[in-house]
Amino acid sequence: MTNVVQNIMHILLIIIFMIIYILAFIIVKPFLINHKRKISTLFLKISYLIYLGVLLVSVYLFMFFGPNDLEYQISNFFFLGLLICLFIPNLGILFRRKVEKYRSEYNFAFSMINGIIVFFIFYKLIQHNWFLFY
């Protein structure tokens, strides 16, 4: 019975994460490009969608295939890093329209931040062996 419940949880979580990603895709509108800042806007939107996809997959892997004794596996520094990884890119994509003067630099900076966070998440997934195909 627990195997059936666990399979239902897997399916529900996959559906919820797909809905989140589709909503983010609709809100970010990656194919609607600003005519003044084409490249920087495209970099920001694509890097954010890549970041969100990697984050959702890593949360899924962590929830179902991560360690059982969580308090021994995650340090305070790692937990703080994960919190930063959750909030900084989302705040960056939300406040991008408030920045007008240095918008291209802002877009490139947050594209770089998104890339660094994706690298950090991949590094931690490999370090803790949370990949399914590992």
What does each C-alpha distance from 125 to 54, 57, 62, 131 come to in angstroms? 11, 10, 9, 6
pLDDT in tens, 17-71: 999 999 989 988 888 777 788 888 889 899 999 999 999 988 887 777 766 665 5
Tell me the chain's radius of gyration from C-alpha atoms: 17
- How far is residue 6 CA from its own chain's centroid? 24
* C-alpha span between 124 and 53 (Å, rounded): 16
* C-alpha span between 58 and 79 (Å, rounded): 14
* C-alpha span between 33 and 31 (Å, rounded): 6
What does each C-alpha distance from 68 to 37, 73, 87 come to in angstroms? 46, 9, 25
pLDDT at 134 over 60: no
| Least confident residue range of 12-16, 56-60, 128-132 | 128-132
- DSSP conformational letter for 66: S
pLDDT in tens, 84-125: 888 888 888 888 878 878 888 999 999 999 999 999 888 877
CB 14 within 8 A of CB 78: no
